[in-house]
Amino acid sequence: MSKTATAEHDTQAKSGRQTDSGSETLEKPAFAPDRIPAVIEALLLTMDKALAPGKIAEATGMRDHPGVFPKPTQTIEAAIEVLNEDYAKTGRAFRIESVAGGYRIMTLPEFAPAIAAIQGLRESSKLSRAAIETLAIVAYRQPITRVQIETIRGVACGEVLRGLMEKNLVTIVGRAEELGRPLLYGTTKRFLEVFGLAAIKDLPPVNDVFPGLSNLITEQKPASKAIAKDASDPEDSADAADESPESQPTIDETDSGDSA
């Protein structure tokens, strides 16, 4: 082989590109397939909120190596299944759960009392009865207007809605196609995380989440037609729902109703 050919061969090798198509890198992935479960575990341990599969695929480099990881989503699901099986076998106090369109490490329900005690949760930080009723109505009847909420509860709820928005549990999702185009309310990504849900469709029976409120909430959906935000992309809609209350329209009515 001539010196010129040798130099060209070395340059191609260093570039890490195929000479025929130039479309896929020849460099090895940063993490071997058998290390993906450990990498995912490390990522989730550093997060304080759910991590979307797309973000995991990007962080682990799977997207850059389709030849090694042709189906990143399935690879991630399989890795999480392996981790959860290991956690169960070794008696760990946590599992990786699908929450709010992503994955998050969560402790088992049986340890909730101890965790609450060590965190020093105060009674004042808990939602009032009025806030719980309003949140339940929004969760199971969304999208819903303030008037519809007040009709169900029988009292004004402007202050309660403001409190729930400040806690990032409720957000404005659009406007109803009614006279005056009133605001429509729905739950946020934070709501899903707090209640350990992957999506709103996973809501269990009312009494499982809000004991004693089944009579207050019916299965019938509000009749309002919504002009809501575009939720075609699950990740984008989750991010939009997680915006801070300051970035959302304010409730312009004032009342003397009960507060959160």
Residue 12, pLDDT score: 42
**Each residue of 58-100: pLDDT tens digit?**
898 898 888 889 899 999 999 999 999 999 999 999 999 998 8
Tokens at 156, concatenated? 């004004």
Residue 77, pLDDT score: 94
Q: What share of the chain is helix, strand, coil (3-state, %, to 5)?
A: 45, 10, 40
DSSP character string of 146-215: HHHHHHHHSS--HHHHHHHHHTTSEEEEEEESSTT--EEEEE-HHHHHHTT-SSGGG---HHHHSTT-TT
Q: 213, 136 in Cβ contact below 8 A?
A: yes
Q: 96, 51 in Cβ contact below 8 A?
A: no
**Each residue of 1-39: pLDDT tens digit?**
444 444 444 444 444 444 344 444 457 888 888 999 999
Residue 184, pLDDT score: 96
Residue 134, pLDDT score: 92
Distance CA 187, CA 216 (A): 18
**Each residue of 143-182: pLDDT tens digit?**
999 999 999 888 999 999 999 999 999 999 999 888 889 9
The CATH fold assigned to 29-111 is Arc Repressor Mutant, subunit A (1.10.10)
Q: How far is CA 231 from the centre of its chain?
A: 13
If you average pLDDT over every residue of the chain, what do you get? 76
Q: Is the peptide bond before 143 cis (omega within 30 degrees of 0)?
A: yes
Tokens at 26, concatenated? 């020849």
Model's pTM, two decimal places? 0.55
CATH number among 1.10.1740.10, 3.30.70.920, 1.10.10.10, 2.160.10.10, domain 127-247: 1.10.10.10
Distance CA 202, CA 196 (A): 10
- The burial of 75, by beta-carbon neighbours within 10 Å (0-12 exposed, 13-18 middle, 19 or more buried), is given as buried
Distance CA 44, CA 50 (A): 8
**Each residue of 227-243: pLDDT tens digit?**
544 333 333 333 444 44
**Each residue of 44-63: pLDDT tens digit?**
999 888 999 999 998 988 98
Tokens at 15, concatenated? 């570039």
Task: Give CA angle at 208 (224, 169), nearest 5°.
Answer: 55
**Each residue of 177-216: pLDDT tens digit?**
888 899 999 999 888 888 777 788 888 787 776 777 777 7
Residue 218, pLDDT score: 58
Distance CA 129, CA 194 (A): 17
Residue 144, pLDDT score: 94
Which residues make up the CATH 1.10.10.10 domain(s) of the chain?
29-111, 127-247
Q: Which residues contact 64 (CB under 8 A, 6 or more apart)?
A: 25, 29
Task: Give CA angle at 81 (77, 84), nearest 5°.
Answer: 135
Distance CA 257, CA 234 (A): 35
